[in-house]
Structure formats: C-alpha cells, structure tokens
Structure 1
Amino acid sequence: MNKTIYTSLMIVVLMLALLSGCGSSDAGSEGNSESADSITVKIGLLKNVTHAPAFVAIKKGYLQERLGANVKIEVQSFSNGSDFSTAMATGQIDIGYVGPSPVINQYVRSKNIKILSGANNGGAMLVARKGSDVLSVKDLAGKLVAIPTKGSTNEISLRLLLQEQGLKVTTDKSGAQIIAMAPADTLTAMKQGQVDAALLPEPWGTQIANEGIGEIVADWNQIPPNKGNYPLTIIVSSEDFLNKHRNLAKSVLLANEDAIQFIHDNPDDTYSLVNDELKELTGKGLDVELIKAALEHLNLTTTIDEDALKTMAQVAVDAGYIKGVSPDGLDLEGLYDLSLLKETQEGK
C-alpha cells in the first residue's frame, strides 16, 4: 500500500513539473507572451514607389513569415511623412517606412521615435514645366517650385540644391518661392501653367517627363545631399513598441532585408508586386514601364548615413521647422537604435 501511494505521488510530481515546463516555454523570449498570444502589429508606409521594399515585404509574405503566424498585421498608408509621424506619436502605428525629415522633427519634439534601419537612398528629382524657362537650378530664381509637404525630405533637398547655387527661398520674385501640394495636384498645376518646377519623389518626376509636361532639370543622382545617395526611406519605430517588442521589430528588419534582396534578384517580378500594392493603397495602379523607370532611380539599402541626416536636420533648423533648437544645438544622439540592424547583418 505504501509503495502504491509513493508511486502515485511521484506521478503527480512529474505531471506538475511537465506543466510547469510548458508554462515557462509559453512565456516567450521577451516575457510579453508574444509566442503564446496573438498580437497586432500596426505598420505604416507612404504611397510612393520609393517605399518598394515595404510593398514587396507585404506582397511576398516576408513580413508575415518573419513576424509569425500568431501576429496580425495591419497596414496603414499615408500621403505624407507628417501624417505618418503624428500617427506614430499617437499610437495609431507601431513601426513603418517614412522619410527622415518628419521623423527628426518628431524626435526633437517628443523623443519617442527611433530610427532602426534604412530601406532606400534617393529617388527624387527636380523637374521643370515646359515653357517655364527653367533649364538649370539657377533659373529657379523668381519661380514657383512645388514640394509634396512643408518640412518634407524633398523640401530639405530642394533647399540644399538652392544653397549650392547661391539662391534663397523667398516669398517674392527675388528668390525661389516654395509651395506645398500633393504630387498629383502638382502634375495638374504644371499642365495648367500654375507651377514652374517641382522636386518630387518617384515616380512623379518620371511621369511628368514621360507625359511631356516637363523636363528633368536635376536627375535623382544630382539631388543633395551626397548626389542622391541620402536616406529617403527609412524604418522607424515608436520607442514604446521597441521597448516592449524588440524581437518583433527585428523581424520587420529581416523582412525588409528579404524584400530588398528579392528586388535585386527579381526586378521583372517586382514591378507587378509594387503595382498591385499601389492599387490596394490608392485604388489606382501605374504603368509597369513607369514603375520600372522609377525603380532604376532607387538605391535600396539598409545603411543609415547619420552625417547626411544631420546635414538635412540642420537645414530644417535653419528653415524654422525644428523649433527651440539653436543653430549649433542640434543633438540627434538618441534618435538612432541601430543595434537590431547590426544583429541582422551579423546573422544573430
């Protein structure tokens, strides 16, 4: 009888130990139950071909594969980086693809956003309306030049381009006048002779040139800083999401690398993928040849050029977009967390 009781007790102890072990396994590597419970990751992006890695990561399933079957992905698209940054600051999105200038502005205001990786360098160009008499950057004096939004990465590049030629941004004919309008509206305004030139992300510049509305004045590889080799599309995360879900953030970076590699290896297959995603985001696709031409103007890379971003940030300070910062008091040290990118590059 005593032996029977002892055997029964040992069975109970073993069962409890097994159950305890299962519970430890379900806790997840981050201690936030990610491996046991479903979680929603809200990803933001802009509706531009310059965000091609994001489109491919979605369409090829790289994001879902890297994040795991228990993760629900919600994609939110934005027309400009300012709206993206506001959405991240208010918790509407967790992580995503955007241009750097709105991110820098947001960081200076709140310190609650982090740059994690690059996605694309360059991919904007300066085009001038036919009949505007703008044949070079110097001819922009006294002209009206459009950019997508105030304080955008494209405006910062335009200001640098003007500085290189000794031109100022003014509100009268003594210098270049800048106006903000959506790229589609810029195309219409050019047709109607209301705008002289524009610095736009692809594929808008190529489209304006292809339709005979305007001509390229400064191609993508002439746009400052670094003659087109500057961060135009980066991956950022809210600090809260990064602190709670570093493994998920890392998974997004891995999916981004998967997508960039696919685009490099399979350019012909990429065009339809980008077009399909654009149709879903905007309700309208693009001519495949236009997407092909636009992608040829992108330098897809995960590298982050901090010096280029500092140069662009300083222009934003001088232009008054970053408030409360002295001309020499800009500190971006806490803006970056490139540790996860380093891990992915080292195969960890």
Structure 2
Amino acid sequence: MKKKSILILIAILCSAMIFGCSQSQNKDKEIINETPKEEISIIMSGPKAPPTFPLLRMMETNALGEHVKIDFKIWNSVEELLAMATGSEHGFLAVPVNTAAKLYNKGVDIKLTNVNTWGVMYLSTTDPKCNQWEDLRGKKLYIPFKSAPPDIVTQYLLKEHGLEVGKDIKIIYSTPSEIAQMVKAEEIEYAMNIEPFITASKIDNKKVRVIFDYMDEWKKIKGTEYDIPNAGIVINNKLLKENKELVTLFEEEYEKALIWTLKNPKESGELVEKYLGLNKDLIEKAIPTLGLNYKQSNDGKKDLNEYYETLLNFKADSIGGKTPNESFYYEK
C-alpha cells in the first residue's frame, strides 16, 4: 500500500513537472511572439519601366513584412538616378545594367543583385517592303537615348549587317514616347524603340509591325546561349552588411512578384497605373513582351560579360571604361 502511494505521488509530481514545463514553454513562446521586430526603413526606387513593376506588387502585399517601412521613389532622369545611387540611404534601386556597371566602376559602393529585364528592344516599320537589314540602306532610323544601350546595340547590329551610320543610314534621336507617337501617326517609317512604347505605337495602327526583335538578332550573332541583359536591381553594400537577411528576403520576394506580374497582366496594369501613372490597358497588352525574367546576377554573369564587352568596344564610357570585377556580383 505504501509502495502504491509512493508511485502515485511520483506520477503526480511528474505530471506537475511536465505541465509546468509546458506552461513555461508556452509563456516563452508568448513572450517571443509579443516581442516586436525592430522597424526598418528602406528606400526602393525605379523608373517608369518594367523592372519597377514587381516592386509595386511587393509594396501592395507588404512582402518584406510589416516591420519594414518602404519609401518608394521614382527616378525620371540620369541626374536623379545618380543622386539616389550615390546616397547611402537608398536600399534597392532598379537600373539599366550598363548604368549599374558604370556606377560601380566609378567607385559607388554597390552590388548588382539580379537581372530582371532582358532584350525588350525592337525595330518597327510601317513600310511593307522592309524585311531585311539591307532594306534600311538609305533610310532614316529613329532611336531613343543617344549613346545609351538602345543606340549602341542598334549601331552594333547595323555594323554586323554591313551598314555604316552616317553613310548608309541616318540616325535621328528622340524620346521613346515621341517616337511611338510619330510611328503611330505614320510620320516616320523606321524606328527602334523599347517596350511598352512599341505596343503603344501599334495601337490603332495595323500597319506598324516589328521586323527585328533584338534578342533574336543578338543570338544569331553571339550564339543561342546568350541573351541581352537590360535592367536589374542594385543595392548599396552598407545595407548588405547591416541586414543580409533582408536582402535575401527581398530577392526571394522580388522573384515571386515578377512571376505574379507576368501571370496577372490586368492586375499588374492597374498597379502600374496607380503608382506610375501609365495607361493600364497599354501595360496589360505589353506585359508578354516586357522581357521580364528573374536571374540572380551571379547566374547571369556570362550574359552580362558578353553584353559589357560589346558596349565596351563601341562606347567604353557607357559602362565606366571596363567590365566589372567579381565584387560587383551579389551572392547569397
């Protein structure tokens, strides 16, 4: 009987210990869950262009968490971009990949984390007889952004097809929106442009057609394994050193947001109109040809190096005089 009482007492004590531990663990969990994360403030910025679109989705869904306060800014000029890139307070900045290289080579403390926009350059015409590069001989070709990648890549492709600028073909520079309007109104016949302005020029004018997708033309010359990297995301190294986990989370969520953008063109168009003021119907139509595809910069090194070498040979200052070294590329 005495032995039985001792066993019962031991059982009660064990139960009390287990229950007590359980309560203690639950209280610990409550304390952990109740402990608020320290609020982090970051700046995300980009142009009114495809690489910015996934950022809008991330803001709408609080993809980085409630404790991350995002200040979103649009950059409209090279001057604004340079000011943001050289300021240590900016967090994630969407830029052309040649600009990223130029900034890095000029001593700005940044890394390229991903490439998200590829190709997105096209040559269109309203001339039904123009189908080959040779058909451009003796013509006037309108191009946006003098000395920028659209200009450099166009001149590279023209040269590869035996056409010399200034002798065999005349180039006239304008803005993407002005070119789109002139093509649409049939004021000009031959134009190189980027999306979504190519789509804009085709709306209400069935004569406008794309004759050269620069990605296809690039592959014919460079090889099918090479793509044209257009734009990506850069971060300052200060942020990376102080909050590597946030950078890792950003990359994961940006890729998800990019995939969502492609799968939901209507909703994406509405977001772009809300934040950037671009026409939602135009964006919805253009989504399939915006060249959006996520690739971490370290994985896109082969494409980037080939692209940088081409730009370097045509206009060295477009990437800061040299191809970036290994420290330019972000690794998880």
- TM-score clears 0.5: yes
Partner of 2:112: 115
Following superposition, the deviation at residue 95 of structure 1 comes to 1.1
Partner of 1:250: 248
Provide the C-alpha distance between the structure 2 equivalents of 1:177 and 1:44, rounded to a whole number of angstroms: 32
Partner of 1:135: 131
Q: 2:148 aligns with which of 142, 148, 152?
A: 152
Is the contact between residue 97 and residue 230 of structure 2 (CA under 8 Å) also seen in structure 1? yes
Q: 1:201-249: per-residue Cα shift (whole Å, max 9, x none)?
A: 2221122233326321113642425678332231211233223332222
Provide the C-alpha distance between the structure 2 equivalents of 1:308 and 1:159, rounded to a whole number of angstroms: 19
* Counterpart residue identity of residue 313, structure 2: D
Q: 1:161-208: per-residue Cα shift (whole Å, max 9, x none)?
A: 223313334xx34344252x3311212333566654333222211222
Rate the CA distance shift 1:58–1:192 in 2: closer, same or farther, 3 A. Answer: same
Secondary structure, counterpart of 1:110 in structure 2: coil
Provide the C-alpha distance between the structure 2 equivalents of 1:336 and 1:91, rounded to a whole number of angstroms: 18
Partner of 1:183: 176
Rate the CA distance shift 1:192–1:261 in 2: closer, same or farther, 3 A. Answer: closer
Partner of 2:42: 41
Secondary structure, counterpart of 2:123 in structure 1: strand
Provide the C-alpha distance between the structure 2 equivalents of 1:291 and 1:221, rounded to a whole number of angstroms: 22
Q: How does 1:265-276 map to 2 (within 5 A)?
A: 267=263, 270-276=264-270
Partner of 2:201: 208
Q: Does 1:283 align with 2:283?
A: no
Is the contact between residue 45 and residue 51 of structure 1 (CA under 8 Å) also seen in structure 2? yes
* Counterpart residue identity of residue 248, structure 1: L
Consecutive unaligned residues in structure 1, runs of 5 or more: 1-24, 26-34, 341-348
Normalised by the length of structure 2, the TM-score is 0.73
Q: How many residues align?
A: 294
Provide the C-alpha distance between the structure 1 equivalents of 2:200 and 2:273, rounded to a whole number of angstroms: 17
Larger Rg belongs to:
2
Q: 1:335 aligns with which of 320, 328, 331?
A: 328
Partner of 2:163: 167
Q: 1:45-71: per-residue Cα shift (whole Å, max 9, x none)?
A: 221245443333333x1xx23x22221
Rate the CA distance shift 1:133–1:75 in 2: closer, same or farther, 3 A. Answer: farther
Rate the CA distance shift 1:294–1:160 in 2: closer, same or farther, 3 A. Answer: farther
- List 4+ stretches of structure 1 deviating above 6 A: 323-326
Rate the CA distance shift 1:197–1:51 in 2: closer, same or farther, 3 A. Answer: farther
Provide the C-alpha distance between the structure 1 equivalents of 2:138 and 2:244, rounded to a whole number of angstroms: 50
Is the contact between residue 41 and residue 68 of structure 2 (CA under 8 Å) also seen in structure 1? yes
* Counterpart residue identity of residue 131, structure 2: L
Following superposition, the deviation at residue 321 of structure 1 comes to 4.8
* Counterpart residue identity of residue 154, structure 1: P
Rate the CA distance shift 1:204–1:306 in 2: closer, same or farther, 3 A. Answer: same
Rate the CA distance shift 1:224–1:85 in 2: closer, same or farther, 3 A. Answer: farther
Provide the C-alpha distance between the structure 2 equivalents of 1:196 and 1:90, rounded to a whole number of angstroms: 43
Secondary structure, counterpart of 1:302 in structure 2: strand
Q: 1:236 aligns with which of 210, 234, 252?
A: 234
Is the contact between residue 122 and residue 194 of structure 2 (CA under 8 Å) also seen in structure 1? yes
Q: How does 1:48-127 map to 2 (within 5 A)?
A: 48-49=49-50, 51-59=52-60, 61=61, 64-65=62-63, 67-79=64-76, 83-91=80-88, 93-127=90-124
Partner of 1:298: 291
Consecutive unaligned residues in structure 2, runs of 5 or more: 1-31
Provide the C-alpha distance between the structure 1 equivalents of 2:76 and 2:144, rounded to a whole number of angstroms: 9
Provide the C-alpha distance between the structure 1 equivalents of 2:86 and 2:281, rounded to a whole number of angstroms: 35
Rate the CA distance shift 1:56–1:215 in 2: closer, same or farther, 3 A. Answer: same
Is the contact between residue 50 and residue 201 of structure 1 (CA under 8 Å) also seen in structure 2? no
39-48 vs 142-151, which moves further: 142-151
Rate the CA distance shift 1:137–1:215 in 2: closer, same or farther, 3 A. Answer: same
Following superposition, the deviation at residue 296 of structure 1 comes to 4.7
Provide the C-alpha distance between the structure 1 equivalents of 2:95 and 2:175, rounded to a whole number of angstroms: 16
Rate the CA distance shift 1:191–1:123 in 2: closer, same or farther, 3 A. Answer: closer
Rate the CA distance shift 1:196–1:293 in 2: closer, same or farther, 3 A. Answer: same
Partner of 1:19: none
Following superposition, the deviation at residue 72 of structure 1 comes to 0.9
Q: 1:116-141: per-residue Cα shift (whole Å, max 9, x none)?
A: 1222333332112x259643333334
